[in-house]
Structure 1
Amino acid sequence: MEIARATSRPAAWLMLGIVLVALNLRPSMAAVGPLLSAIRGDIPLSFSLASLLTMLPVMAMGLAMFFGIGISQRLGEQRTVLLSLLIIGVATMSRLFLDTAAELIASAILAGIGIALIQALMPALIKSRFPDNVALCMGLYVTSIMGGAALAAAFAPQVLRHTGSWRVGLAIWATLALLALLFWWTQHANTPVAASAPARKESFLHNSRAWLLAIFFGLGTASYTCVLAWLAPYYVEKGWSEQNAGLLLGFLTAMEVISGLVVPAIANRSRDRRRVLMVLLGLIVAGFCGLILSPQSLSLLWPCLLGLGIGGLFPMSLIVSLDHLDHPQRAGGLTAFVQGIGYMIAGLSPLLAGVIRDRLGSFEWAWWSLTGVMLVMLLIALRFNPRDYPSHIR
């Protein structure tokens, strides 16, 4: 995909467009947790079945990553973004009319496919258009993703309270897709369409470093998806109202936004990201331990620590992948592989946590399991020495 470096004004408009798109990549999942008890009041859902509302779109995101790059090369950036936003908007709006668990889950899968097409495209686009500020721009992009989650988590219960309908609370986020769709449509004349010959497709299936990066991304994202799905229900079970539990999840995602902005800027000073990764993983471990041992006292501290850790870890996992290759297309192919495998790993975590809750009557063992996963990730992070990157991926 040949893309000329953007000049300052077009670059600013492009970054605004990326932010508007990114805001659409999590509300379809983030709005579910705070509204879960209201949904379960209308539709019979066990916790295991409810976990599919987060698990299946994440799995769909993983599978769609493997053909997302090919679709973007055939359609061009502009058309790929428009198609993805249309899919997300239709999937989200359809929730106004759903009456069964199967229909709700189908809408979640459809949204996941739309999300994946965008997420396969964006890392390569950012690396090619903003080559001197990859970490900063990836931070802004990922922060906007988490900002969309924060909006949905905090305001979906408010919509429920004012309208009396959880369906409206889930469907209202289609307006974000419409806003982004209109922006990208009106920018058609100013946005160069990538019309390049398809690049040689490179397979990373037999590269051990690509698999290690994918596992690292997947395990880190597992903590994000599990918290997104179950933090609010966890606190509702502790006696909190849906509104306050949703606000707590919104607070956590707001901390993710702050960390997603600040951490890549700090990490941009050095190509060695290991120290930053270890600090972030330590914050997540402390947050999970607090959720287990003292969920009611210092109840804002634990989501704060989790949000700061998860919010920085998400973009840093992608940035470390991009660091391995200088060529934008090859780096984009690598991040598509990393996200494809990673999201399929991460998609299992809400299901496993839901099964644990159904079997043991508490989410606390899920938090303990994720704590152990973070300790494993600390050991993996030590292996990301930038001096070794050329020997792992040539």
Structure 2
Amino acid sequence: MSTSNASPRHVPPLLWLAVVVLVTINLRPFLTASGPLGQAIQSATGMDLRTFSWLTLLPMALMGAGAWLAPSALQRLGARRAIAFSLCLIGLGCGLRLAGSSSWMLIATAGLCGCGVALVQGIFPGLIKRQSPHNVAPMMGLYSGALMGGGALGAQISPLAVQWGWSWQAALAMWVIPVLVALPLAWHALGLMQATSTAPRPKGGTAAPAAASDTGWLMRRGRTWLLLLSFGVMNGGYASTVAWLAPFYQTHGWTATQSGSLVAILSIAQAASALAMPALAARSTDRRPWVLATLLMQIAGFAGLAWWPDAFPTLNGIVLGMGLGGCFSLFMVVALDHLPSPTQAGALNALMQGGGFILAALAPWIMAQLLQLSGSWITGWLYQASAAAVVGMLMLRFNPRHYASAMRAPELH
């Protein structure tokens, strides 16, 4: 019997759930903590809005580029060492923010965290499909919910820490703590897996079959690029919200704590929707109606920010958060749906995230440019609403009956 199929069962289910949550919860606080502290950071470092956008732009771009390297890293290092290395990068990036008194240091640490996040995001979906083959949708919901939940913690706790008397540098660096909690647990659990998420090498030491290890054939599929484009444009809304929602409301007289609380509420709604939507969509192989529903929520939320920002901001944040979180997790499921092999599906997911996050990284910068040119936030929020509408039109092409012909995946031997 192939060890690649049998070994994941050696990880107890509760331990696997704990690893998914505790590792994933570290992937967003370093991003969401910066926005509510924007005024303090800009005052101390002299950043303008365009420079400040690099705290989101750079790590998200690196998340994209790094995700493309994730299948190779997984093959060379194995899941255990790759995830441990990723967590160490995130922890180092967060810890170095204690010395973040300059803009270049903050941007560099954001980039370091982004590199660590990239490997986890590129590896975990494939591991989830391998470890939980009959529960992919709810497990991806759990993964996405933990991702957004970590964002809520960052947005809420960091500004509260400043209110309690911490320096803003310490409030950013504190996110090394959950990394230190997750690292030993992940090392232990992944050590129980006797095989990585790649196909096992033959005894002679030759490389794994090209279908398992080579992603070149995926790059030659039009569907891969359609997934990448749709995911990137959609996720630009999340990147812009993380970067600019708190600073936007601070221009309306809100404090750092108040604006951070709104980002946290939005992130909690994201987490709840990310957890629930895949479970609801699991009743059918066609996820499109659910994805379109989440995109409509995004359009409504961004329109609310543009035209009625002070009318029911909490309700609007919940609607927008549900749209962003549910859409993210559903896209992860849709990518995994395209291929039956966990290795191939994980590689497709990594490619989608790779190019997608590079595209998404541009959105906060585009919003800063629109603000600079127009003098108003309205144009930026309407740009995001339009982007969600475009993704909705692209999503109509994702008919599950055509997945096999769209991919024409080679067989594993």
Partner residue, 2:167: 165
Structure 1 residue 318 displacement after superposition: 1.2
Inter-partner Cα distance in structure 2 for 1:182 and 1:163: 31
Partner residue, 1:115: 117
Aligned ranges 1:125-274 → 2 under 5 Å: 125-187=127-189, 190-194=192-196, 196-197=200-201, 198-200=208-210, 201-203=214-216, 204-274=218-288
Q: Which amino acid aligns with 1:155?
A: I
Inter-partner Cα distance in structure 2 for 1:388 and 1:229: 37
Structure 1 residue 206 displacement after superposition: 2.2
Alpha-carbon contact 2:101-2:169 (below 8 Å) kept: no
Inter-partner Cα distance in structure 1 for 2:167 and 2:185: 29
Q: Which amino acid aligns with 2:356?
A: G
Inter-partner Cα distance in structure 2 for 1:357 and 1:44: 18
Inter-partner Cα distance in structure 2 for 1:211 and 1:83: 29
Partner residue, 2:400: 386
Deviates more, 1:293-302 or 1:185-194: 185-194
Inter-partner Cα distance in structure 2 for 1:38 and 1:199: 53
Partner residue, 1:95: 97
Q: What SS class does the counterpart of residue 110 from structure 1 fall into? A: helix
Change in 2 beyond 3 A, CA 1:341/1:9: closer
Inter-partner Cα distance in structure 1 for 2:11 and 2:77: 25
Alignment deviations for residues 274-305 of structure 1 (CA, whole Å, 9 cap, x no partner): 11011111111111111111111211111111
- Which ranges of structure 2 fall in alignment gaps of 5 or more residues? 202-207, 409-413
Alpha-carbon contact 2:4-2:195 (below 8 Å) kept: no
Alpha-carbon contact 1:292-1:367 (below 8 Å) kept: yes
Partner residue, 2:303: 289
Change in 2 beyond 3 A, CA 1:174/1:247: same
Change in 2 beyond 3 A, CA 1:325/1:185: closer
Inter-partner Cα distance in structure 2 for 1:187 and 1:286: 42
Q: Which amino acid aligns with 2:29?
A: P
Partner residue, 1:353: 367
Partner residue, 1:334: 348
Partner residue, 1:372: 386
Alpha-carbon contact 1:5-1:128 (below 8 Å) kept: no
Inter-partner Cα distance in structure 1 for 2:219 and 2:154: 36
Number of residues paired by the alignment? Answer: 394
Q: Which amino acid aligns with 1:44?
A: G
Q: What SS class does the counterpart of residue 4 from structure 2 fall into? A: coil
Alpha-carbon contact 2:155-2:264 (below 8 Å) kept: yes
Inter-partner Cα distance in structure 2 for 1:267 and 1:299: 28
Alignment deviations for residues 317-343 of structure 1 (CA, whole Å, 9 cap, x no partner): 111111110011111111111111101
Q: What SS class does the counterpart of residue 277 from structure 2 fall into? A: helix
Deviates more, 1:186-195 or 1:204-213: 186-195
Deviates more, 1:361-370 or 1:212-221: 361-370
Alignment deviations for residues 83-132 of structure 1 (CA, whole Å, 9 cap, x no partner): 10001000001000122111111111111000001111111101111111
Partner residue, 2:84: 82
1:316 aligns with 2:330: yes
Identity value in percent: 36
- Which ranges of structure 1 fall in alignment gaps of 5 or more residues? none
Partner residue, 1:71: 73
Q: Which amino acid aligns with 2:293?
A: V
Inter-partner Cα distance in structure 1 for 2:221 and 2:369: 33
1:275 aligns with 2:296: no
Q: Which amino acid aligns with 1:306?
A: L
The alignment's TM-score, normalised by the length of structure 1, stands at 0.97
Q: Which amino acid aligns with 1:324?
A: H
